[in-house]
Amino acid sequence: MKYAYFLGCTIPARANNYDVSARKVAKELDIELVPIEGASCCPPGSIRSLNFTSWITIAARNLALSENIGLDIVTLCNGCYETLKDANHILKTNEKIRDEVNSVLENLGLNVRGVREVKQFTEILYSDFAKAKFKEKIIHRLDGLKVAVHYGCHLLRPSKILQFDNPEAPHKMDELVELTGAKSIEWREKLKCCGAPVLVVNEKLAIDLARQKLLSAKAAGAQCIVTPCPFCGIQFDLIQLKIEEVYNESIELPMLFLPQLLGLSLGIDSEALGFDLHRIPLDEIEERVST
């Protein structure tokens, strides 16, 4: 399995632990990730709301770069996934927009044809090939670990375009978590937003949304929260410091990116998975594979 690897902006700047853990897990599962040279910001939906032409053209440039190396795109970021998959759908189905975009891209020596697919890394991990490889290579079972799975908004919606999972009752990531022996718990706030998108305009609301989710997960018995989204992961990890400051309340619910949990089960060293970059300690999780 070989994919064009689209990293985006947030991960190299703020979530290097997601990147390193994904690369380690991909290598163990014989998934080759080929960096896209010259890739830019995806860009996010906020750009679309201001200028659709700029949004679709920038996205198309990234898609054209992946077409040039003859590979489908895989990204770790839910936001990048939504943008690139939505843009790819538009470019495939709307010849007029595709022609307009290509009239700009030709100045860069590029052309987008809409002949490649866009996938989120979780989709690749859920493939029959990757799941079979994982089962072969698992070293540490995480039996008894209670995990609150958080998908994130942009992995599931708009569902007609993304078609990743059932947006009302997703199950794919839960199944991946349970391959490790851990238990994906039911919790009330599972499908609600983490609050990160409103952080720059209403910090108090962002804190309250995250607090509500974290308390819900903890009340349901979760020992950690696992997500495939860098923005959500950063929110859950860092916002707990703000919650303690604002509410004088220590939740202490560690966050892991999905490849970190899978990597631990595959026997990859916690330092190599970027555990040391977390603000909320993962000591209890690490102890499960060291005893």
Q: Which residue has the tokens 């309250």?
A: 208
Percent residues over pLDDT 90 in the chain: 97
Strands ordered across the beta sheet of 32-35? 32-35, 2-6, 73-75, 118-120
Q: Do 189 and 279 fall within a single domain?
A: yes
Q: pLDDT band at 291, cuts 50/70/90?
A: low
Q: Do 152 and 181 fall within a single domain?
A: yes
Whether 89 has a pLDDT exceeding 60, the answer reads: yes
Q: Do 43 and 145 fall within a single domain?
A: no
CATH code for the domain of 37:
1.20.1050.140
Q: pLDDT band at 119, cuts 50/70/90?
A: very high
Measured distance CA(255)–CA(253) in Å, rounded: 7
Asked whether 22 and 57 are in contact (CB, 8 A), the reply is no
Buried b (16+ CB within 10 A) or exposed e, 76-111: bbbbbbbbbbbbbbbbbeeeebbeebbebbeeeebe
The answer to whether residue 197 is domain-embedded is yes
Q: Do 88 and 224 fall within a single domain?
A: no
Measured distance CA(145)–CA(217) in Å, rounded: 13
CATH code for the domain of 223:
3.40.50.11810
Q: Do 102 and 47 fall within a single domain?
A: yes
For the stretch 182-220, pLDDT in tens is 999 999 999 999 999 999 999 999 999 999 999 999 999
Beta bridge partners of 2: 32
Q: Do 11 and 85 fall within a single domain?
A: yes
Q: At which of 88, 121, 154 does a domain end?
A: 121
Give the predicted TM-score (pTM) of the model. Answer: 0.97
Whether 64 has a pLDDT exceeding 70, the answer reads: yes
Q: Do 265 and 192 fall within a single domain?
A: yes
The answer to whether residue 203 is domain-embedded is yes
Please name which of 63, 11, 3, 118 lies closest in space to residue 55, comparing C-alpha atoms.
Answer: 63
Asked whether 73 and 6 are in contact (CB, 8 A), the reply is yes
Q: Return the half-sphere exposure (C-beta side, CA atoms, 13 A cut-off) of residue 100.
A: 13
The answer to whether residue 66 is domain-embedded is yes
Mean residue pLDDT of the chain comes to 97
The answer to whether residue 14 is domain-embedded is yes
- Domains identified in the chain, total number: 2
Strands ordered across the beta sheet of 146-149? 183-184, 146-149, 224-227, 255-257
How much is the average pLDDT of 112-140? 98
**pLDDT of amino acid 222:** 99
The answer to whether residue 128 is domain-embedded is no
Beta bridge partners of 229: none
Asked whether 36 and 116 are in contact (CB, 8 A), the reply is no
**pLDDT of amino acid 288:** 81
Beta bridge partners of 183: 146
Q: Do 56 and 183 fall within a single domain?
A: no
How much is the average pLDDT of 66-72? 97
The answer to whether residue 130 is domain-embedded is no
- How distant, in Å, are the alpha carbons of 45, 125, 131, 186, 220 from that of 170? 23, 15, 17, 12, 18
How much is the average pLDDT of 253-270? 98
Please name which of 260, 261, 263, 255 lies closest in space to residue 281, comparing C-alpha atoms.
Answer: 255
Q: pLDDT band at 22, cuts 50/70/90?
A: very high
Measured distance CA(120)–CA(80) in Å, rounded: 9
The answer to whether residue 58 is domain-embedded is yes
**pLDDT of amino acid 290:** 66
The answer to whether residue 276 is domain-embedded is yes
Domain of residue 168, residue span: 139-290
How much is the average pLDDT of 243-252? 97
Q: Do 269 and 188 fall within a single domain?
A: yes
**pLDDT of amino acid 243:** 98
Q: At which of 94, 121, 148 does a domain end?
A: 121
Q: Do 168 and 245 fall within a single domain?
A: yes
For residues 290 and 246, which has the higher predicted lDDT (pLDDT)?
A: 246
For the stretch 143-181, pLDDT in tens is 999 999 999 999 999 999 999 999 999 999 999 999 999
Q: pLDDT band at 289, cuts 50/70/90?
A: confident
Q: Do 285 and 245 fall within a single domain?
A: yes
Q: Do 7 and 110 fall within a single domain?
A: yes
Whether 86 has a pLDDT exceeding 90, the answer reads: yes
